Amino acid sequence: MASKSLLKEKPALHEKTRTGQKQKKDYPIQGAHPQPGGVLFRLWAPNCGGVNVKMIRPGGDFSLFPMERAEADGDLFETFVPGAGPGTRYLYILDGKLERPDPASRYQPEGVHGPSEVTDPMGYEWGDAGWKSPPLREYIIYELHVGTFTPEGTFLAAAEKAPYLKELGITAVELMPVAQFPGERNWGYDGAYPYAPQNSYGGPDGLKQLVDSLHRAGIAVVLDVVYNHFGPEGSYFADYGPYFTGNYKTPWGAAINYDGPLSGPVREFFLQNALYWGREFHMDALRLDAVHGIFDESPTHIIEELRRRMDALENLTGRPFYLFIESDRNDTRFIRPPLMGGYGADAHWNEDFHHALHVLLTGEQTGYYMDFSGQPDLLKSFEEGFVYTGQYSGYRKKYHGSLSWDIPADKFVAFSQNHDQVGNRLLGDRLGSLLPPEKLMLGAALVLLGPYIPLLFMGEEYGEKAPFMYFVSHGGRALVKAVREGRRKEFSAFRWDGDVPDPQSVETFLISKINPEVRKKKDPGVHSELFNFYKKLISLRKEVQALSAPERRSISASLQGNVLTVTRRSEGGYVFAGFNLSGSQAVAFPPGPAVQPGQAPGLWSALLGPTPGNDGRISLGPYETVLLRTEKEKGKEKDIKTGNNI
């Protein structure tokens, strides 16, 4: 039976106002909560008439404990089980017939269909005391998939790679989703238990050790989370309550109920999940997947409310807690402050930058690449952020995007590759298998010397040639068949011939594993040369303050023939970058407009690439990059776009 004393200690769901109406206060955190002498179980289940907790003992014996309806809200069930503790496995029995895992399970040791396990939130001894994330402008992100990053495919194996990432110069690692998914092979976007780190990766303690190791190496951690849908297997949320809504549709399944009847506890479930990752796992940032699949017409959008909650956690811990979002709508509301009608997220993945760069490097113009033309679009992205800022999209067959020219550069994340743009290709082929080394270097320079927060996809730093395929390990035949057919339909827009690799095959997963050791091979040396180039670019980005200055007025870009030139300014001086976007001819040109009127060309010093000749001009070979720097003259700092004194 539930402990009455414990029930009284929990916060009430509502309180009466002077008018007699109910005023929302707090929704208690669901799940299994270890306390002195036992465990308090808490479950929101408005669809259920009665709930029992089935406590499973080693050997298969079990005991049943009925849950009582909480006094403040009859939809909330609670019970205190004496003698239970971390390591105890349990299931909920709904209305005497359905056995289900805890929707707020912290660990699923036997997978999505098995019992949940009680965990100890205070059981791990952290070694990152004093750690504090760097500001966003200093983020150099490395996106990785735990299962394919190492041969072992575990949190602990990934933790052992912290020295490698530090050597490269990475300042932040972004983990693809790690919430419990079906089987052992998955990108992570089919998660069924948002609070439970994947069992095959190493569970909660393994994830904490990974974060701890990265922090001790001076590397922040961004966690990719999915708040737009649940995975198609092992998700039993509809048995508990109205977690889903029929008012909207997503491409991946039923939409989450963020604004319909009884949506308050649903919203709280995800808000608490976000805080859980920051509080219990010391995450420095979250990346919200596909927020265009989050539908909310509430007066306060769920993302704006999430940002407010994250602000409160920041104030409590004294540590930054950033919020990245991914959206295919180029909607700047997500990253504008609430006072400007926005939701307040910190940064936005910039797919337009990728598409323009990909077309430039590969010449591909099938599928959504048909909307992009390479050089002029890349220039616009350098200057404004998005390429599509309201004009007509032929691929989408509608007007697309919003103005972004006034948004600081550190509110966008730029990349030449990521899990989506590689893995959603027919063969999962990376740029490392599509392009010669000189083009790979050009792409790296445009990302790492560009104005936005750079993101690398694991393996690109040495030109990994292994594909990154789409893979799953679902249990049901019908579901596997549906996934296979869905992949075939997805590629129809790209007009690619050939069979689609089987996402259910273990081979599809195994060939997606990367091998950073190839960077050490001296014959033919391409991998080591590229790796050293990435290290050089990252070192320059850290060293040269102007390369991470976010203010729009500090960035000036232009096209001189086939050369993209970019001038940047900061308190430390000026830098000039030139990128020869042509592979057919060398070019010679002066280093941009005079940064400071009357300045002699000789004051420029070369940080990368050729130095200016005696005539002040730069000779740049095909696909070559140059980076120059000069110190500013006191009292002569000017806005590089207008020439006016600042």
Give the model confidence (pLDDT) of 333-380 as tens digits. 999 999 999 999 999 999 999 999 999 999 999 999 999 999 999 999
pLDDT of 510 higher than 70: yes
Whether residue 8 is predicted with pLDDT greater than 80 in this model: the reply is no
Q: What CATH number has the domain bearing residue 556?
A: 2.60.40.1180
- Is there a domain that residue 593 lies in? yes
In this predicted structure, the answer to whether residue 20 has a pLDDT above a threshold of 60 is no
Confirm whether 207 is domain-assigned.
no
pLDDT at 417: 98
- d(CA 471, CA 460) in angstroms, rounded, equals 20
At 614 the pLDDT is 84
Q: For the residues 407-421, what does the mean pLDDT come to? A: 98
What pLDDT shows up at residue 490?
Answer: 75
Checking if the pLDDT of 635 tops 60, the result is no
Joined together, the tokens standing for residue 157 give 């194996």
> Is 26's pLDDT higher than 90?
no
Instruction: Give the rounded percent of residues in the chain with a pLDDT score beyond 90.
Output: 81
What pLDDT, on a 0 to 100 scale, did the predictor assign at position 472?
A: 96
What stretches of 19-147 adopt beta strand conformation (E)?
Answer: 22-24, 31-35, 38-44, 51-56, 62-66, 68-69, 76-82, 89-94, 98-100, 116-117, 141-144
Would residue 144 be called left, alpha or beta, if left means φ above 0 and alpha means ψ between -120 and 50 degrees? Answer: beta
Whether 231 shows a pLDDT value over 70: the answer reads yes
Tell me whether residue 92 is in a domain: yes
The rounded distance, in Å, linking the Cα atoms of 184 and 401 is 38
> Of 54, 81, 100, which closes a domain?
100
Q: What is the DSSP string of 556-598?
A: EEEEETTEEEEEEEETTEEEEEEEE--SS--EEE-SSS-SSTT
Task: Judge residue 626's burial from the number of C-beta atoms within 10 Å of its C-beta, 0-12 exposed, 13-18 middle, 19 or more buried.
Answer: buried
Looking at the predicted structure, is the pLDDT value of residue 642 above 80?
no
Q: Please check whether residue 562 is in contact with residue 587, taking contact to mean a CB–CB distance below 8 angstroms.
A: yes
Q: How many CB atoms lie within 10 A of CB 591?
A: 22
- Per the annotation, the verdict on 328 as an active-site residue is no
Identified catalytic residue from 174, 284, 296, 326: 326
Does some domain include residue 144? no
**Rg (alpha carbons) of the chain, rounded to whole number:** 26
What's the structural domain count of the chain? 2
User: What does the pLDDT read at residue 275?
Assistant: 98
- In the set 224, 233, 289, 461, the catalytic residue is 289
| Within-domain flag for 10 | yes
Residue 585: pLDDT over 70: yes
Which residues does 375 contact at the CB level (< 8 Å), separation at least 6? 360, 559, 562, 564, 581
Q: What is the pLDDT of residues 96-142, one digit of tens each?
A: 999 999 999 999 999 999 999 999 999 999 999 999 999 999 999 99
Q: Is 102 a catalytic residue?
A: no
Length of the chain, in residues? 646
> Is the residue at 622 inside a domain?
yes
**How far is 373 from 353, CA to CA, in rounded Å?**
12
CB contact at 8 A, 575 and 627: yes
What number is the average pLDDT over the span 499-505?
89
CATH number at residue 16: 2.60.40.10
Q: Percentage of residues in the chain with pLDDT exceeding 70? A: 91
Among 366-380, 470-484, 496-510, the range of highest mean pLDDT: 366-380
Residue 124 lies in a domain: no
- 347, 412 contact by CB (below 8 A): yes
Query: What was the pLDDT predicted at 9?
Result: 36
Alpha helices in 326-414 (DSSP H): 351-362, 375-384
Question: pLDDT-based confidence at 525, cuts 50/70/90?
Answer: confident
Residue 325 has pLDDT above 90, yes or no: yes
pLDDT at residue 592, rounded to an integer: 58
pLDDT of residue 497: 60
- pLDDT higher than 50, residue 12: no
Give the pLDDT of residue 633.
38
Phi, psi for 304 (deg, rounded to 5): -65, -40
Distance of CA 180 to the CA centre of its chain: 17
pLDDT confidence bin for 488, thresholds 50/70/90:
confident
Average pLDDT, the chain: 91
Confidence of residue 401 (pLDDT cuts 50, 70, 90): very high
Domain membership of residue 185 (yes or no) is no
Decide which of 105 and 12 is more confident.
Answer: 105
Question: What is the predicted pLDDT for the residue at 71?
Answer: 72
Among the listed residues 329, 311, 330, 328, the one whose alpha carbon sits nearest the alpha carbon of residue 320: 311
Single out the residue in 35, 69, 100 at which a domain terminates.
100
Q: Which of 39, 65, 100 is the last residue of a domain?
A: 100
Residue 7: per-residue pLDDT: 33
Q: Which domain holds residue 40?
A: 4-100
Report the candidate in 96, 67, 87 with the shortest Cα–Cα distance to residue 3: 67
pLDDT surpasses 70 at 24: no
